[in-house]
Amino acid sequence: MSEQINFRVGGMTCASCVGRVEKALDAIPGVEKSSVNLTTERASVDYDANVLGAGDILAAVTDAGYQAEAEEVSFGIGGMTCASCVGRVERALSKLPGVVTATVNLAAEKAKVAFVPEMISVKDIRNAVSDAGYVPADMDEGAGAEDREKAAHEAEFKALRSDVIFAAAFTIPLFIIAMIRFFPAVEDAMVQIMPVRGWMLVEMLLAIPVQFWAGRRFYKSGIAEFRHLSPGMSSLVMIGTSAAFGYSVLALTMPQIFPEGAANSYFEAAGVIVTLILLGRLMESVAKGRTSEAIKKLMQLQVKTALVIRDGVEMEIPVEDVVLNDIVQVRPGDRLPVDGEVVEGSSFVDESMITGEPIPAQKSVGSNVVGGTINKTGAFRLQATRIGKDTVLSQIIKMVEDAQGSKPAIQKMADKVAGIFVPVVLGVAALTFVVWMIFGPSPALSYAFVTAVSVLLIACPCAMGLATPTAIMVGTGKGAEMGVLFRKGAALETLSKIETVIMDKTGTLTLGRPELTDFLPIGDAAGRKDETLALIAAAESKSEHPIAESIVRAAKEKGLDVPEVTEFGAEPGYGIEATVSGHLLQIGADRYMDKLGISLADAPAKAEALAAEAKTPLYAAIDGQLAAIIAVADPLKEGSKVAVEALHALGLKVAMLTGDNRHTANAIARTVGIDQVLAEVLPDQKAAEVKRVQDEGRKVAFVGDGINDAPALAQSDVGIAIGTGTDIAIETADVILMSGDLRGIVNATALSKRTLKTIWTNFFWAYAYNVGLIPLAAGVFYPFIGVLLSPMLAAGAMSFSSLFVVINSLRLRSFKAPIKEQKPAGTASSELMLQAGE
């Protein structure tokens, strides 16, 4: 089956780019013809749809180093009840021309579709969902998204609640009438009032509204499932209850067609089954509503209005009407509506939602502020720099939603199993009926009917479809609360299997900037320590070197008065010379002192001891005499040592990757407790080092923060970016530590292990339940213990299994971080955290 796909290709600059893209496309098995146009930046590909899909073609272009551009749309889907529904919707969407990928999440009741807009429209996509028998709903981004989602959930809940109440009103008397006849004395009394067939008629009249009104949703979905040759939960319920109802109607109206003793009434079974399943759905709806608490909390931070100043007039407008560069007035106690830069006034802003730091950060003119944070004391005006879906908060929400909607490998496997499960169950039910009809005791028809219906009801795949997405939703939401953002739900699964954690040194294990660690005055300067430091800082204030900045910063932090410099000069490769307050200062390495002829005496021994601690020693001379030894180092972040120890406690091996010399790297490794040191690694070799460790058979998580870490983050099994790092590192990673504290790795790893354990528990319950109870429902044990499973009990057990899976996933909300992070103030700027959501 030949099809054609047309899409835009970004990143091409010349004819050789065209050739490279066409070569990559023609190399794909199944591609019949490809044509790439540099001017229009478009590609047209004819391909065999039986061999490959549109996603394979776009992936080949991406692998060639270009951007195969597809759009993405997310929307809600109503009417899904089980894993079979998920598979049905995904198949309906995936076969549409121009759809690259389609992912459907049962727990979130959402679909995410990547598509080529030139080939298919959003309307076509939504129509495909409707044609499959489901209801596409609006899930647009923006301030009103929370209200729409809440309204949709409430409407579904109210509809279910109404149906349950309605069904119960008829089912309770129906059940009482049917059950009390088992007592001989009561049955005799009832027969005195009305014949048995009269009571059967009453049961039918009570069952009709339950079966055909309260249970109408099962018929609507079940018929659509059969129309698309893809039976699911609704099909099983529809067949089971209709069989019970129809059998009973025939037993009432034409008893003569049944063998002796088989003309029994099962009206109460049909009514109770519908009511129990609806009740289970209602309870499941309540529980599922709690799985997305993290998203709801984040959405509640979004402000609905903003006080904007236009043409000198203050006006309150909907936040979606704010435009870039608008001036927004922020009053004390206000939650900031958008991201921006302070242009007037000052205040303290509570940024704990971003940094986790409870102490408000001071903001003044020029400071960046983030929408959703809370202004505390003063008033100020900001200029809007990011609005709508581009704000930090919106990007974080989108990122968490994407993670919750993505499918790890374990879920894809489960969906495939569920896709063939229902047809198999229908076959088992039919086989059960035949076997009982042939070999069952009299009345065989009655036994065959009960067992076949029980098999249909006990085997519903609801729990299978909910096992993974509910756990992923709660797990990623809990991670967001802890300051750990999972960009993909699959990262939760992969992180739990990691064996080695490789950390970049600079900016990850360390602060990423030099700090003055030791100041050792010598000789006469020993009695004037602060004065000596002030003179040295003054000299260094004219240098732009990072080491000079660290010395000046240390002096200012001590509150020292740094005097003015009258003369300054630098000798590259050696040091600096300056005149400060009438004193000649010369600062540099030992070779500079040797060149100047200044005696170092026993200072080199002290310098070597400092170097052994991974510190950089410098010397300072005042008026030709050695005055101090200065040591500068990139200090370890608070919590680095604790994080490594905790990772060891989880059974993980920890390695450090750095471009530093091996001597310095080993010194840091000893301090922290690193197992393996990968030193003197050039930036472009980082990814190769990660691959080398992977080639040893180990699953690797790489932790980094710099631009040159991006290839290694992409190469690793799980890339973990420090939220205080560069944009590109954050964009490449699978997991982001918002606070920049390495202890977040431990918490993320522990959370992933707990989440995967929950998923496996859910699967065990869902599958063991079906595998174990189908034989019981089929009556396999009847010859040995004389017990058959009632269809009513089968329906109740089926509903309970789904509820158990959701409740078990909700237990993740009580997860406690193994170690508490210390989050320094201002650890995440709006510019950097924006990229976390992209």
Residue 356 has pLDDT above 60, yes or no: no
Query: 111-125, 286-300, 503-517, 524-538 — which is least confidently predicted?
Result: 286-300
User: Which of the given ranges, 69-73, 82-86, 305-309, 520-524, has the highest pLDDT on average?
Assistant: 305-309
% of the chain with per-residue pLDDT over 70: 81
pLDDT at residue number 152 = 60
User: Measured between alpha carbons, how far is 240 from 217 in angstroms, rounded to an integer?
Assistant: 14
Q: How far from 452 is each of 184, 429, 446, CA to CA, in Å?
A: 29, 5, 10
Residue 573 has pLDDT above 80, yes or no: no
Residues 624 and 647 in one domain: no
**Of 645 and 377, more confident:** 645
Q: How confident is the model at residue 17 (pLDDT cuts 50, 70, 90)?
A: low
User: Which of the given ranges, 293-307, 487-501, 551-565, 797-811, has the highest pLDDT on average?
Assistant: 551-565
Cβ–Cβ < 8 Å for 125, 73? yes
**Of 60 and 404, more confident:** 60
Q: Which of 714, 748, 782 is the last residue of a domain?
A: 748
pLDDT at residue number 836 = 29
Task: Render pLDDT for 775-825 as a digit per residue (tens, 0 to 9).
Answer: 888 888 888 888 777 776 766 676 677 778 878 888 888 888 777 654 443
**CA-CA-CA-CA torsion sign (734, 736, 741, 747):** negative
Residues 673 and 617 in one domain: no
**Of 141 and 437, more confident:** 437
Q: How confident is the model at residue 410 (pLDDT cuts 50, 70, 90)?
A: low
**Of 476 and 457, more confident:** 476
Residue 435 has pLDDT above 90, yes or no: yes
**Of 780 and 487, more confident:** 780
Residues 613 and 692 in one domain: no
Q: Which of 633, 661, 678 is the last residue of a domain?
A: 633
**CATH assignment at residue 42:** 3.30.70.100
Residue 833 has pLDDT above 50, yes or no: no
**Of 137 and 816, more confident:** 816
**Of 464 and 334, more confident:** 334
Residues 533 and 602 in one domain: yes
Task: Render pLDDT for 650-704 as a digit per residue (tens, 0 to 9).
Answer: 889 999 888 776 777 888 888 888 998 888 777 667 888 888 988 888 899 998 8
Residues 644 and 502 in one domain: yes
pLDDT at residue number 140 = 47
Q: How confident is the model over 78-93, as a mean pLDDT?
A: 81
**Of 779 and 830, more confident:** 779
- CA nearest to 700, candidates 684, 681, 683, 686: 686
C-beta neighbour count of 33 within 10 angstroms: 13
Residues 8 and 77 in one domain: yes
Residue 244 located in a structural domain? no
Residues 615 and 701 in one domain: no
pLDDT at residue number 732 = 63
Q: Which residues are catalytic?
A: 504
pLDDT at residue number 417 = 67
Structural domain boundaries enclosing 666 = 486-511+637-748
Residue 628 located in a structural domain? yes
Residues 570 and 622 in one domain: yes
pLDDT at residue number 16 = 62
Residue 537 located in a structural domain? yes
**CA-CA-CA-CA torsion sign (117, 119, 122, 126):** negative
Residue 775 located in a structural domain? no
User: Which of the given ranges, 368-372, 397-401, 798-802, has the highest pLDDT on average?
Assistant: 368-372
Structurally, the chain folds into a number of domains equal to 4
Residue 717 located in a structural domain? yes
Residues 620 and 652 in one domain: no
Residues 498 and 647 in one domain: yes
Q: How far apart are the first and last CA of the chain?
A: 36
Q: How confident is the model at residue 504 (pLDDT cuts 50, 70, 90)?
A: confident
Share the mean pLDDT of the chain.
79
Residue 342 has pLDDT above 90, yes or no: yes
Residues 564 and 697 in one domain: no
- CA nearest to 770, candidates 465, 445, 444, 440: 465
Residue 751 has pLDDT above 80, yes or no: yes
pLDDT at residue number 144 = 47
Q: Which of 88, 114, 145 is the last residue of a domain?
A: 145
Residue 581 located in a structural domain? yes
Residues 27 and 124 in one domain: yes
Residue ranges with strand state E in 483-574: 484-486, 500-504, 515-521, 565-571
Residue 369 located in a structural domain? yes
Global pTM value? 0.61
Order of strands, edge to edge, in the sheet holding 374-375? 361-363, 347-350, 374-375
Q: How confident is the model at residue 726 (pLDDT cuts 50, 70, 90)?
A: very low
**CATH assignment at residue 622:** 3.40.1110.10
**CATH assignment at residue 652:** 3.40.50.1000
Q: How confident is the model over 393-400, as a mean pLDDT?
A: 68
Residue 808 located in a structural domain? no
Based on the number of CB atoms within 10 Å of its own CB, is 255 exposed (0-12), middle (13-18) or buried (19 or more)?
middle
